[in-house]
Amino acid sequence: MTKKLARHGNSRALVIEKPILDLLGIDDNTTLQLHTDGESLILTPVTTEERSATIRATGRKFAGKFSQAMHVLAGQEDV
């Protein structure tokens, strides 16, 4: 299948037909990861497990970096 990009403001958009989206289990609420190998674009649906792992990792990073500030804001300066 050959496609052309459509102008979308200052960006370009790629229209993906419903049968392909259905085949891959992609809907309007699916988060997609975009990668490149330097020559090709690779678009992958992000699984719930991957999203959960990312959220957990972000939370741990935030907690480590801002734990003292969070204790101060919670009124627990002595912790």
Examine the domain organization and report whether 24 and 56 are in the same domain.
no
Examine the domain organization and report whether 27 and 42 are in the same domain.
yes
Examine the domain organization and report whether 14 and 27 are in the same domain.
yes
CATH of the domain at 27: 2.10.260.10
Q: Which residue in this structure is represented by tokens 């299948």?
A: 1
- What confidence tier does 27 reach under pLDDT thresholds 50, 70, 90? confident
Residues 45/25, Cβ–Cβ less than 8 Å? yes
Mean pLDDT for the stretch of residues 3-22: 93
Residues 34-74: tens digit of each pLDDT? 999 999 999 988 877 776 787 788 888 888 888 888 888 88
Q: Which domain holds residue 29?
A: 1-46
The pTM score is 0.53
Mean pLDDT for the stretch of residues 16-20: 92
- Residues in Cβ contact with 30 at an 8 Å cutoff, skipping those fewer than 6 apart: 45, 46
Q: What is the distance between the alpha carbons of residues 76 and 21, in angstroms, rounded to a whole number? A: 50
Q: Distance of alpha carbon 71 from its chain centroid, rounded?
A: 29
Q: Which residue type does 58 have? A: T
Examine the domain organization and report whether 62 and 25 are in the same domain.
no
Examine the domain organization and report whether 19 and 40 are in the same domain.
yes
Examine the domain organization and report whether 41 and 77 are in the same domain.
no
Question: How many domains does the chain contain in total?
Answer: 2
